[in-house]
Chains A and B, each alone.
Chain A
Amino acid sequence: MSLVSEGADFRGPLTASGFAEPSLATVGDYIALMKPRVMSLVVFTALVGLAVAPGSLHPLTAFTALLCIAVGAGAAGALNMWYDADIDAVMARTSRRPVPMGRVRPGEAFAFGLTLAGFAVVTLGLLVNWFAAALLAFTIFFYVVIYTVWLKRSTPQNIVIGGAAGAFPPMIGWAAVTGSLSFEPILLFLIIFFWTPPHFWALALYRADDYARAGIPMLPVVSGDATTRRQILFYTIVLVPLGVAPWMFGYSGALYGATAVATGIIMLGLGWQVLRERRPVERASRKLFAFSILYLFLLFAVLLVERGWGGLIVRLAT
């Protein structure tokens, strides 16, 4: 059986009698299962969705909503590490995660993820609103079942479709305040959705060997270097106008517009450099990967300052 078809068959250490070795997992290992760096980006984008939404929320309710979204993201991360333990073990970037290292058994990671997911969704439903809770449940389902179990190992479009899971948090934040959705949170969703392919494919370009060894059909592995570089530029060309759209639709001010235009031009420039670059040179890919994180952070941070924190200061002053 190939590595790819195994999924979640990875076993932890056993004693000579066949029993699982008593766990040495620390609290830190369980925190690592929750992918704290991904969680911080999820919380940040959810905070922006929550802050720009019309209406008001009690600070404790807002805190509870963000906590539940963070724990839900952590649950999805733990379930992803449970299922992907076999491929994590053969990739340099992920081989030191708690499950492939044998510090947490797959069953423990699965139970941990499922428990967190249940608590996050039910708590969000009971204490904030059930529409936001349903969106959170769908996001966890989408990331674990649609992306991790199905798409990741079967199609080079895995991160394009699967990227939707990472784009939902601003919508959940918005729904926590309003109990509904409108065009503005969908715009925020689209920005993250179209940001994901250039971001991850830039990484995949210089990690292609790692993905190939694990048998993951990432675009550079399946379709090659040149196609990936063209696709990166294509998605960047779609992304940049979407990044400017909140200003064009009047949802944000001049500071956001200037930031989106300036950083968008840099993204296009880097996308163009990636197109002209050829392996083994990978400087432009690394630069695009790093700058894409800053790009998304700046767009959402400026939106938060103009619409969220700005609105908060005005509301407190009046």
Chain B
Amino acid sequence: MILKHINAIVVGAGAGGGIVAKELSSAGLSVVLLERGDWVGFQKHDHDDLINQREPVLGNGFGPDERSPRVSEGSSGQWAIVGPNDSGYGNNAACVGSGTVSYGAMAWRYMEQDFQMRSLYGAPEGSTLEDWPITYAELEPCYEKAEWEIGVSGDMRANPFSSPRSRPYPMPPFPYNREGRILETAAKQLGLHPFPIPMLRNSVPYGGRNACIACRYCVGFACEISAKNGTHNTAIPAALATGQCELRTNCIVSEIVVDDHGQARGVRYFDAQGRAQYQTSDVVVVAGAAIETARLLLNSKSKLFPTGAGNRHDWVGRNLQGHAYSGALGIFEEETYDDIGSGATIAISDFNHGNPGIRGGAVLCNEFIRLPYQFSGQRPPGAALWGKAHKDFQRQFFKRCVAVNGPVQEMPRFEARVQVDPVVKDHWGIPVARLSGQRHPADIETGRFIAARAEEWLKAAGAVRTWTNLPGTAARGGQHQAGTCRMGRDPKTSVTNSYGQLHDIDNLFVADGSLHVTNGGFNPVLTIMALGFRVGHYIAQNWKAGGFQ
């Protein structure tokens, strides 16, 4: 069966793709949004401590499943086939809304410095550190759109390191929980500048959706009252409401078809019944997140691009980044737990930049609520892992433990990468992603520095014992995966221009974290959303001027 030709295909209904689909369909383009997962939500996956995106010990709630394996390099140079719930897989999600359904919903703008890392710090040896081809100021209007259209609660006035904003947040910030209040006093004593974490979650009713009821099960779970804002309950419904966008779920895209003139013609995919389909379009936008986007481009071989679409200079799949999470835990004499979710309320941005001898840094936040099973794995070095002593610790400190963590900005590396595996194929016969490479040693150093700051903060707050968590050495992207199709001015050292348009194929775009040149010392989702607005607006504008047709 030949499918009707349409204007734009968007591959991936996550943070970036959902927004591009909405931008294009509301500009009048006919859009097909292809998603490998399905609609999921609280009805399908509710509050299960063992089945969620944070603790997938009995499965993950939001995809993908075992039909989508990957190959991952072990620390010893050994290759292993890994499933979505194994470490080393770097899973995010596979469903309508993708990670935005189950995320913790921190809504960070990167700082001005984050766009100019190379100019600011110089590239360390063994790193491909580079500036973004755009400044913060150029992306600022798109951040604002994301905050207002998707919905963010926050107030940056207490953060002197915040980048300039042209408009406040649409909703007031969430108040500090008990942990937040304890940490606020301590931060001020230390001369630091605490402020409430901006959240893609409703502090008051917004966009026709409820205000948050402060439930315990937030990060890792779908919101039962739709008070957490992702593309599944904002941009994608808006796209569908235009009548111009068709969402096809359970569709696995295997290839972007590129013709002999270097133009994208459409995509091949397997539909929900497993039938091979070929959808043609004027424009193709890939938004499958850094690992799957790179995999799809690499699997799209053509006469002009025999090693994959846009891969003329071997940069597709390179610079895989995530965050080298570092931090500390502290136990207290008094109760710190008040059962008010999501739990993460307070941040300091004092250590994102300007740290002596260190490139970049991280925002430090108190951690989301740790559920009982999760807490049973968090113990100081040397503490009992079982028996009465372990149980006693659990009883004594479940409500007397505070964790402070920071997403440490990683140095991009050429060898931290996504390839397609020469042998292993997924359920649909498509070569799988193969992940390899180690973090730059500087990331571990920065991690130590950030963990030490977290520890100081906890001690000042009255912790009677503290211990640190340091990052591992493997670079696998994880939920914050980024960087594999980075934007840039030089086609020899980047994959797309500053609008996500491939240097080599002008009707093929990328609109997800793959574009990030560097990944900031913050959770990346608001930046991915902002780039979705930027890429979508650019395509729509060119379309109206007669481009791509």
- Note whether A and B form a binding pair: no
